[in-house]
Amino acid sequence: MPPSTQLTRFGKAVQGSSCPTTIADLDVLGELSDGTAAPQGIYGHVPFCFHKCHYCDFYSLVDRRDRQPMFVQRLTEELRLAGPYFKRPLRTIFFGGGTPTLLAAEHWRTVLDAVRDNLSLESGYEFTLEANPETVHAELLAVLVDGGVNRLSLGAQSFQPKQLEALERWHDPANVERSVKLARAAGIWNINLDLIFAIPGQSLNAWLADLDTAVALEPTHLSCYNLTYESNTPMTAKMRSGAIRPVENEVEAQMYEATIERLAEAGFEHYEISNWARPGYRCRHNMMYWENENWWPLGPSAAGHIAGTRWRNVPRLDAYLAQGSWPPICDVEQLDADGRVGEELMLRLRLIDGVALDRLDELLAVGQRGPQRMAAIAQHIDGGLLQRTSDRLKLTKRGLLLADLVLADLL
Ligand code: SF4
């Protein structure tokens, strides 16, 4: 799942006996039916993985193959239910996970047939599948392309076995290049590579070597995230016990700054804190998140957002499979006006272009926290973390390194 979907919570949580059990208990379906809201995209979550990597806190479980048919049946049922509520063609679909390429080709054919039968897509749509380099093969790619997939996001993470081992990623780095070639041969030219830096034991030079290897594969897009120690992962427990030593903050900052420099030299546009694209290849799906648009979730643990209401399908495969009709949901929040402003600021300022001053003025005029936010913005401009240009407010180069701090002040 893209990190951008792990949104900070600042809405009013709906809890207790009135807690909804499915999306049918909320106003969302009515808003979709009468056209007051429409999703621009869909995020589908495939929860199967080879094994659980120790740094990962996404919902996934070890694939035993036996549950794939039931999962696919359930997913297609969700598609059939949701499709009639989408009154406008979708701009983007993204299947992440988990490891979507662990689903057998015949199952993808079923899912993609259901997509075609139940959804309409804009011309020039983007349809991305996340892929593990170990599981990309020609037969699967042929099915994907036939079903409309036109973008692949490969979890390369690193090209050095030592670093992959530190992450507990077990793919052969050579399979990244093999997958890129196979994808192109199948007709998919829009390819993202996911990379991770600040892996324990990784030097600045080792990271730059990874970047150079990635660039040499000529992807259209690169996502470069620093390793995050999520609160509930085995890797974090090892770090706390001293078994793993994180990369020093200073080295991590050097890695990030060197990434900005190296990818600019290679002709990539830096358009979001952790994302770079060849001109014309910004990820439309993630732009949808950062521009705070509406999207629909499919599959266990997938999160959705429609007109200020956020929710998540319950992150348990058994519960997802057991319930017919709409899937069970949790983490429902209905954002108030202030919450929506905070969320929009937090998301838009992740973009290198920042937020237009006209829009900023509109946002600061809403809700009660406007004066506080104005003061925080002034303080961060004085501190050199935000800059105001003739028409936009955006993070400075130093602000990119301390983005979490700045964005937290604007909530
Ligand atoms: S393959 Fe990806 S989703 Fe699966 S456990 Fe590893 S990091 Fe998490």
CATH number at residue 389: 1.10.10
For residue 144, the CA-to-ligand 1 centroid distance in Å is: 21
Question: Could you tell me if 77 and 330 are in contact, meaning their C-beta atoms sit under 8 angstroms apart?
Answer: no
Which of residues 334, 367, 385 is at a domain's end? 334
Measured CA to CA, the distance from residue 350 to residue 362 in angstroms comes to 19
Atom 3 in ligand 1: residue holding the nearest Cα: 98
Residue 168 backbone class (left: φ over 0; alpha: ψ -120 to 50; beta: rest): left
**How many angstroms separate the CA atoms of 306 and 334, rounded?**
10
> What atom of ligand 1 comes closest to residue 51's alpha carbon?
5
Count of domains forming the chain: 2
Same domain, 330 and 401: no
167, 198 Cβ separation under 8 angstroms: no
Q: How far apart are CA 199 and CA 207, in angstroms?
A: 9
- The verdict on 228 and 374 lying in the same domain is no
Phi, psi of 331 (to 5 degrees): 50, 40
Task: Indicate if 275 and 354 belong to the same structural domain.
Answer: no
∠ Cα 274 278 281 (to 5°) = 85
> Which tokens is 64 given?
């035993």
Q: For a pocket test of ligand 1, which of 60, 199, 230, 233 has the largest count of ligand atoms closer than 8 A to its C-beta?
A: 60
The rounded Å distance from CA 97 to ligand 1 centre is 7
Domain harbouring 156, CATH code: 3.80.30.20
Ligand 1 atom nearest residue 168's Cα: 6
Which of 309, 334, 359 is at the close of a domain?
Answer: 334
Together in a domain, 253 and 402? no
Distances, alpha carbon 360 to alpha carbons 27, 174, 365, 393, 395, in Å:
29, 46, 9, 8, 14
Token pair for residue 342?
């905070």
Residue 349 CA to ligand 1 centre (angstroms): 28
Q: How far is the CA of 52 from the centre of ligand 1 (A)?
A: 6
Q: Which residue, judged by its Cα, is nearest atom 8 of ligand 1?
A: 56
> What is residue 6's predicted lDDT score, i.e. its pLDDT?
33
Residue where a domain stops, chosen among 311, 334, 357: 334
Give the pLDDT confidence score for residue 19 in this predicted structure. Answer: 53
Ligand 1 nearest-atom number relative to CA 49: 4
Distance CA 91, CA 101 (A): 22
Q: Are residues 343 and 379 both part of a single domain?
A: yes
Centre of ligand 1 to C-alpha 244, Å, is 19
The low-confidence residues of the chain, meaning pLDDT below 50, are 1-18
Helix (H) or strand (E) holding 236: helix 234-241
Pocket-testing residue among 49, 50, 236, 301, ligand 1, by greatest number of atoms within 8 A of Cβ: 49
CA distance 256 to 16: 43
User: How far, in Å, from the CA of 245 to the mean position of ligand 1?
Assistant: 21
Does 357 share its domain with 329? no
- What's the distance, Cα to Cα, between the start and end of the chain in Å? 23
Q: Using CA positions, which residue lies closest to atom 6 of ligand 1? A: 53
d(CA 272, CA 290): 9
Task: Calculate how far, in angstroms, residue 56's C-alpha sits from the geometric centre of ligand 1.
Answer: 6
In 85-95, which positions are buried (b, 16+ CB within 10 angstroms) versus exposed (e)? bbeeebbbbbb
Pocket of ligand 1 (CB under 6 A): 49, 52-53, 56, 58, 60, 97-99
Domain that holds residue 371: 337-410
* Tens digits of residue pLDDT in 27-36: 899 999 998 8
Looking at the DSSP bridge assignments, the partners of residue 122 are none
Contact criterion met (CB below 8 Å) for 311 and 332 = yes
Query: Which of 50, 53, 227 has most ligand 1 atoms within 8 Å of its beta carbon, as the pocket-test mutant?
Result: 53
d(C-alpha 273, C-alpha 348), whole Å: 11
CA of 131 to the centre of ligand 1 (A): 11
The sign of the dihedral angle between the CA atoms of 243, 247, 249, 250 is: positive
- Asked if 150 contacts 191 with a C-beta cutoff of 8 angstroms, the reply is no
Task: Tell me the CA–centroid distance for residue 53 and ligand 1, in Å.
Answer: 6
For residues 317 and 375, state if they share a domain. Answer: no
Amino acid at the residue 183: A
Q: What is the pLDDT at residue 149?
A: 98
- pTM over the 0.85 mark: yes
Residues 108 and 185 in one domain: yes
Q: Output the pLDDT for position 20.
A: 60
Secondary structure of residue 55 in the 3-state scheme:
coil
User: Do residue 233 and residue 134 come from a single domain?
Assistant: yes
Cα 60 to averaged position of ligand 1 atoms, centre (Å): 7
Same domain for 325 and 356? no
- Together in a domain, 278 and 361: no
- Residue 170, pLDDT score: 86
Q: Are 93 and 44 in contact (CB under 8 A)?
A: yes
Residue 180 to residue 225: CA distance in whole angstroms: 20
Residue from 45, 99, 154, 164 to probe ligand 1 pocket by mutation (most atoms less than 8 Å from CB): 99
Residue percentage of the chain with pLDDT more than 70: 95
Residues 153 and 261 in one domain: yes
| Backbone φ, ψ for residue 303 (5° rounding) | -105, 150
